[in-house]
Structure 1
Amino acid sequence: MPVLQKRMNKDTFGEVLARVSARLAGWKSCVLSMAGRLTLTKSVLSSIPVHSMSSVMLPQSTLSSLDKISRSFLWGSSVEKKKQHLLSWKRVCRPKREGGLGIRSSKDMNLALVVKVGWRLLQDEHSLWARVVRKKYKLGDLHDRTWLIPKSTWSALWRGVARGLKEVIWPGHRWVVGDGEQIQFWLDSWLSDRPLIHSATGELPGNAQLLLAKDMWREGMGWDFTRIGPFLPENLKLELMAVVLDHVIGATDRISWKGSADGEFSVSSAYRLITRDAQPRQDMASFFDRIWHVVAPERVRLFLWLTSHQVLMTNVERKRCHLCDSEICTVCKGGFETILHTLRDCPAMAGIWERIVPRHMRQSFFQSSLLVWLYDNIQASVIVGDIPWFTTFAIAVWWGWKWRCGNVFGENQKCRDRAPAAEWFKLNTDGASQGNPGLATAGGVLRDGDGRWCSGFALNIGRCSAPLAELWGVYYGLMMAWEKQIPRLVLEVDLEVVVGFLMKGIQNSHPLSFLVRLCHGFLSKDWLVRVTHVFHEANRLADGLANHAFSLPLGFHLFDFVPPIIGVDPMGR
């Protein structure tokens, strides 16, 4: 990383370009297959320039040169010999599930790495570097962005960080509910990944948009639906009922990252946000997933990827690019050399397929279009001669293409519910959600050491995710047990992620942190509580109560006796 004492230009990071060029030397493209060149390109781009990219936005000419070096090496070009680039670099840089090769564009990766500095700055208020930067550039409130208006006195580092804040962090952050003092109820993303105002069913009053979450909350009663109800659809009202403001432990509102399930920032999730393409297009994720999961060498999977994009240089394509004079197949001289003709319909290949294709597959095999033909064969579960058909098929089409090229260019020569110890009580809780998120309920049962029913509950929550429903079950179960003055309690939950939250804690930025901390408030009281994970089969009684709650009105329902409708006895059988 050079010491920047003057304005950056294209020569400032010349050493980075030189190191990348040395690692991707032209001679290596001659001795490596395309699969090998792809692996080396990813390795070099993820190591050499990353340190410089992590602190400052590199000049546009430097970033373009990095992509040019990588692009040329991948397709086998060198100074002495240029080769055809079969697919645009933008499409190559898409994720594999979207039809790309998973290479990361230098420009977008540079921005994602610099964004990490901005995110750390927003989260860190106490370290020396954060206090210096905050003071120098006068960082203000997240809702007031006037401090991000560019100034001539800004350094190169801060210009990059400010750009990341405006272009990535603002659209990529959401709020985690605390006391509601900072969250703007209608304008901030907090209940979902977009502001509530985008889902409003009517025009809000003039001053309503600036109201905070705390302004819509009535202590001891919950959300003020007399002010909220007329403007929200029913599904969002149900989701809102599953969220509460934290006025118990004094937690404040805090930001988290939309791009990850746990709210933690990562460079990879920032890169996905930067490169997200909102234009509608056909969903081909399952098709490309099958290509990259075929059991075959990497070079064969890469050939299937090229075939799926229909960029193989057959005679039809070569004539279109003015690289040859005839579209006719040079092997059979009997038809235009399209991709499907080369790989399936040419008599030279058709004879091979007749010998190896299972008899019951032959009719559809020779009648499908190219993409349907590829998909049907790479996902077929047929076993032929102890080898999966998709492996045989992939090797055969790759070999057929290699043979064709050699010919054209002259190169051929289960569990039980157990009772606790006698002096212990056992609490089983469970959550249920018809979708994620969807209509959600929770249930729980408290039993003594002999397995006898002590109390139970069913909770119709509204609309939320499955982990949130599970946590609500734990919270109300602990509250029920504490009110009955239980001295020793075994808490059994069948969702491992919730058990982890209860035993190991949770980050403040996690969207579920508000409820986990409320549960920890009960766990820290003056009693003994053991939290354990059980399989779903050993949690049938709580599961029955949770499912029974779907038929009950919204809210909490306490049972001193077993509701007969749940279909299991008090011992959980």
Structure 2
Amino acid sequence: MSSNCFKILNMGSPLESKQLMNPRPNIGSKWANPKQEKPISATNPATRLAYKLKRLKDYLKWWNINIFGNINLKLKDLEKAVDQAMLESDNDPADLDKLSKLITTQRDLDQYVNKNKSKIFLGGMSASQKHHISNLFGMSECSFPDSYLGVPIFPGSVKKCHVWHVVDRMQETLASWKGKLLSFQARLCLIKSVLCSIPIYNMAIYKWPKAVIWACERIMCNFLWTGDPASKKLITKAWHKLCCPKDEGGLGLTRLENINRALLLKLVWRITSHKDHWASFLKAKFQSRTGNWISYYKQSSIWGGLKWAIQGMEKKFGWIVGDGKDISLWHDAWCSTEPIADLISNNGSSFDHLARVSDIIANGQWSIPSTIADKFRLANINTSTIPPPLLGEDIRVWKPSLTGCYSVANGVEIHREKFLKIQWSKWIWRKCIHPSRSANIWKILSGCCATDKSLQDRGINIASRYSLCLKNIEDDTHLFWICPFAATIWSWIHELFGFQWNPYVQNFETVTAHATIRSAAIRDLWAAAITNVLTEIWHHRNSCIFNNSPASSRRVKSKILANFFECSILMKSTMHNRVEDLMIFKNLQINPRPAKPTRVIQCFWSLPDLDQLGIGCDGCSRGNPGPSGAGVILRDHTGNTISAMSAGLGICTNFVAELLAVILGLEWASDRGWSKIWVTSDSQTAIKCFASDKVSWFINSRWHNIRKKLTIKFSSVFRETNFAADTMSKRGANLPLGTKETFDHRPSFLDVENPNTCYFRFL
């Protein structure tokens, strides 16, 4: 710490009332309820109870204000006092009486500083000065290392010893679970909800050493597979493959290193986007005068983590231009996906680091000199397409997010390792299947069963013979699919469902293909059937090996049928009103699910009002995300098609394509001289975003610029009355990014909606 400086850490501010609490003041027949309501006479006890609860709620509100006062006003007064004291102490750091006055102000507001929980950290000063300051505030002096709100405070970089107490706490938590009989799925839930949450508080401040992260992950991995953090199982799946979404073959866990980096990036986001005093202090400490992060060493316990989190993330920050005072003209991404200095093949010495976007704004409009415009052309930036500034504060945005705000979940998604999506995950992780059974089938399909072949592959020399058929070595394929014992079970379950059984071509993909076009209830039952067959074959194999039980297909079949009753309770899907579905429920000895009736809704396309332009918009994405396009149809009050447009949007999602289709349609209508607009789209979410003025950051400037010129009405319609725009959007998905195809008439390939025709929607 620097010389002649000190800090006060307020560890607690208990609120003590000066008034005695009167639980029932004598203020009349009512409970001091300012809203004098007449009693409701009702014979229903629930109605009387609801009325009494409402009166109690109003009384508690009155009691809270009269006993404790208006807390909001007190906090506002306290905030003003804090700001004033900070300004005064900055001008005269040696004046301790002003900080002492702040404590007196808190006392007047019924907020007392608990001096027993507060500490003073003093820098390089004499012993007499330290003694004087300590006596003035009535607080004890403290030295590093120490802890504040459970977080250790220390100078210098983070060492293993500084955060190892979190590992000890994790081991203490596991010690209370060690003797309990927990299933694999139960241990997985505990890891997700408890163990992964323990280090988050500390990781949000410091970068953890890799040795500590490895120790924590080793503890969680061992506990997941064996139930003992000190024991390791031989046949497992790599930890980094478990830490991915379920549709990629994982268990939905997250690596601690990714959590640590995402949390520190959250701190970086708060520093760069907030205007508070603490954020300004950290920016002044860790950023240069040009606004760039420093690259040299800084003696700080948090700078190492911030520097690590920032690496490679600079291009993911963007700006919405307001007055342009906070945005670097050349080194910030404000008018393109990357900074202009990076788009021009030249060294950074030719760009002024102090130049700001405000330098090219005059009277709320762009005023770009020719020398700067030449560099824009070198970067392939069309200055005519840049939206005008919003003339407010500049807004920093996180580009990977649609809202523009950073979230830890978004940061974890960016840093995690990606794997190919698998098809079988949607069959095993269903609500109609008990989670413990889903976990068992996941282990089987992931190759985590300790078969003889798996043990041999890991260097254990053992003789192998499958205990159920006594004919072949024991591997996954023979155990679950080819063995005559398994074939008997599969043939029986196919017969119950009325599916065709092919003993020569059997794997998970071919088995699940039988129910892909059946009703939702049959798909759920077939997924449960596959899960029950595979798990019961494995359990029966273990019973024969470890309990010396004889192989019995009858016992396996009875257990499978019993498990369907559990599935019928958890199942919420509906079946088709067909005999085939009823026979399956009868064969499984469970009650049938209700059939979903087909609803038919009549839909009509409405004409715009007189002097109003109707814009039909739609967006599509092949793959979501994938190649995308936008379609726009312009029609007048007579239903005549004025124009049609298709636009290529590149790679994006369906939602982004829907938003861009609306904004493209509005800009196109404005350029053609229309002022009264009626926008229709089959995306309720997109319409809601525009109607509530909560659009995504990447079209924020364009939206605020266009809505000033137009009178806009938004409506959500069914896709059955929006098929013309849908046709144009699919055509746009074949176009390159930024390419538009426009027609000043209705093209011959386009069918448009007729206002005199009734369209039908089937639900």
Measure how far apart 1:490 and its partner are: 4.8
1:325 and 1:231 map into 2 onto residues whose CA distance is 67
* The one of 484, 492, 510 aligned to 1:376: 510
The aligned counterpart of 1:170 is 314
* The one of 407, 410, 413 aligned to 1:272: 413
* The one of 55, 69, 77 aligned to 2:205: 55
DSSP-derived class of the 1:285 partner: coil
1:82 and 1:206 map into 2 onto residues whose CA distance is 54
The aligned counterpart of 1:334 is 471
Measure how far apart 1:315 and its partner are: 1.4
In structure 2, the CA distance between the partners of 1:140 and 1:80, relative to structure 1 (3 Å rule), is: closer
2:463 and 2:412 map into 1 onto residues whose CA distance is 44
CA offsets 1:77-135 (integer angstroms, 9 cap, x no match): 427855335122122223322222121111221111111010122222x2111111112
Measure how far apart 1:42 and its partner are: 0.7
DSSP-derived class of the 1:36 partner: helix
The aligned counterpart of 1:36 is 186
CA offsets 1:232-274 (integer angstroms, 9 cap, x no match): 8xxxxxxx88992122644787653343344332212211221
Output the TM-score relative to the length of structure 1.
Answer: 0.75
1:541 and 1:94 map into 2 onto residues whose CA distance is 40
1:428 and 1:350 map into 2 onto residues whose CA distance is 60
1:299 and 1:314 map into 2 onto residues whose CA distance is 20
Equivalent pair of 2:631/2:727 in contact (CA under 8 Å):
no
1:165 and 1:501 map into 2 onto residues whose CA distance is 31
What letter is aligned with 2:511? Answer: N
DSSP-derived class of the 2:311 partner: helix
The aligned counterpart of 2:685 is 497
What letter is aligned with 2:634? Answer: G
Measure how far apart 1:325 and its partner are: 2.6
The aligned counterpart of 1:315 is 452
* The one of 247, 263, 278 aligned to 1:129: 278
Equivalent pair of 1:294/1:391 in contact (CA under 8 Å):
no
In structure 2, the CA distance between the partners of 1:196 and 1:402, relative to structure 1 (3 Å rule), is: farther
1:178 and 1:543 map into 2 onto residues whose CA distance is 35
* The one of 501, 521, 525 aligned to 2:708: 521
Equivalent pair of 1:429/1:474 in contact (CA under 8 Å):
no
* The one of 288, 297, 300 aligned to 2:425: 288
Equivalent pair of 2:621/2:628 in contact (CA under 8 Å):
yes
* The one of 400, 423, 442 aligned to 1:305: 442
Equivalent pair of 1:459/1:554 in contact (CA under 8 Å):
yes
In structure 2, the CA distance between the partners of 1:473 and 1:31, relative to structure 1 (3 Å rule), is: same
Equivalent pair of 1:26/1:78 in contact (CA under 8 Å):
no
The aligned counterpart of 2:220 is 70
1:551 and 1:261 map into 2 onto residues whose CA distance is 24
Aligned-pair RMSD on alpha carbons?
4.6
What letter is aligned with 1:65? Answer: A
Equivalent pair of 1:20/1:44 in contact (CA under 8 Å):
no
Q: Which moved more, 1:341-350 or 1:548-557?
A: 548-557
What letter is aligned with 2:414? Answer: L
DSSP-derived class of the 1:117 partner: helix
2:416 and 2:449 map into 1 onto residues whose CA distance is 27
Matches within 5 A, 1:544-563: none
Measure how far apart 1:43 and its partner are: 0.7
DSSP-derived class of the 2:529 partner: helix
In structure 2, the CA distance between the partners of 1:504 and 1:48, relative to structure 1 (3 Å rule), is: same
- Pairing 1:156–2:301 present: yes
CA offsets 1:3-26 (integer angstroms, 9 cap, x no match): 413454334334422332233337
Equivalent pair of 2:318/2:399 in contact (CA under 8 Å):
yes
DSSP-derived class of the 1:310 partner: coil
In structure 2, the CA distance between the partners of 1:433 and 1:346, relative to structure 1 (3 Å rule), is: closer
CA offsets 1:269-306 (integer angstroms, 9 cap, x no match): 211221235xxx7x343343444348422222222322
Equivalent pair of 2:315/2:333 in contact (CA under 8 Å):
no
Measure how far apart 1:140 and its partner are: 5.1
DSSP-derived class of the 1:442 partner: strand
1:532 and 1:501 map into 2 onto residues whose CA distance is 12
2:684 and 2:155 map into 1 onto residues whose CA distance is 54
DSSP-derived class of the 1:511 partner: helix
DSSP-derived class of the 2:614 partner: strand
CA offsets 1:344-403 (integer angstroms, 9 cap, x no match): 23333232223222475322x4434xxxx1223245317799673232121111011011
In structure 2, the CA distance between the partners of 1:113 and 1:45, relative to structure 1 (3 Å rule), is: farther
Q: Which moved more, 1:498-507 or 1:75-84?
A: 75-84
From the CA coordinates, give the structure whose radius of gyration is larger.
2
* The one of 526, 542, 549 aligned to 1:405: 542
The aligned counterpart of 2:617 is 430
The aligned counterpart of 1:236 is none
The aligned counterpart of 1:367 is 505
1:463 and 1:22 map into 2 onto residues whose CA distance is 54
In structure 2, the CA distance between the partners of 1:141 and 1:505, relative to structure 1 (3 Å rule), is: farther
* The one of 385, 402, 417 aligned to 1:244: 385
Matches within 5 A, 1:98-113: 98-113=248-263
- Pairing 1:467–2:651 present: no
1:549 and 1:315 map into 2 onto residues whose CA distance is 55
Equivalent pair of 1:179/1:246 in contact (CA under 8 Å):
no
Measure how far apart 1:423 and its partner are: 7.9
Structure with the larger RCO, 1 or 2 (CA within 8 Å, 6+ apart): 1
The aligned counterpart of 1:115 is 265
Gapped regions of structure 2 (runs ≥ 5): 1-149, 551-600, 651-656, 758-763
The aligned counterpart of 2:238 is 88
The aligned counterpart of 2:698 is 511
Gapped regions of structure 1 (runs ≥ 5): 233-239
Measure how far apart 1:542 and its partner are: 6.3
Equivalent pair of 2:265/2:309 in contact (CA under 8 Å):
yes
Equivalent pair of 2:321/2:395 in contact (CA under 8 Å):
yes
1:227 and 1:134 map into 2 onto residues whose CA distance is 30
- Pairing 1:357–2:487 present: no
DSSP-derived class of the 1:362 partner: coil
CA offsets 1:17-52 (integer angstroms, 9 cap, x no match): 233223333744751111111111111134222111
In structure 2, the CA distance between the partners of 1:439 and 1:563, relative to structure 1 (3 Å rule), is: closer
1:345 and 1:537 map into 2 onto residues whose CA distance is 49
1:16 and 1:457 map into 2 onto residues whose CA distance is 65
Equivalent pair of 1:2/1:12 in contact (CA under 8 Å):
no
CA offsets 1:497-555 (integer angstroms, 9 cap, x no match): 33223222236x722222222233235xxx6x443322233446766888999999958
DSSP-derived class of the 1:532 partner: strand
What letter is aligned with 2:684? Answer: E
DSSP-derived class of the 2:500 partner: helix
Equivalent pair of 1:328/1:334 in contact (CA under 8 Å):
yes
In structure 2, the CA distance between the partners of 1:287 and 1:348, relative to structure 1 (3 Å rule), is: closer
Q: Which moved more, 1:114-123 or 1:96-105?
A: 96-105
Measure how far apart 1:405 and its partner are: 1.1
The aligned counterpart of 2:668 is 476
Measure how far apart 1:482 and its partner are: 4.8
CA offsets 1:201-231 (integer angstroms, 9 cap, x no match): xx9578999799999x9989xxx99999999
DSSP-derived class of the 1:522 partner: coil
1:467 and 1:54 map into 2 onto residues whose CA distance is 34
1:206 and 1:58 map into 2 onto residues whose CA distance is 36
1:52 and 1:496 map into 2 onto residues whose CA distance is 41
1:243 and 1:294 map into 2 onto residues whose CA distance is 53
What letter is aligned with 1:399? Answer: E
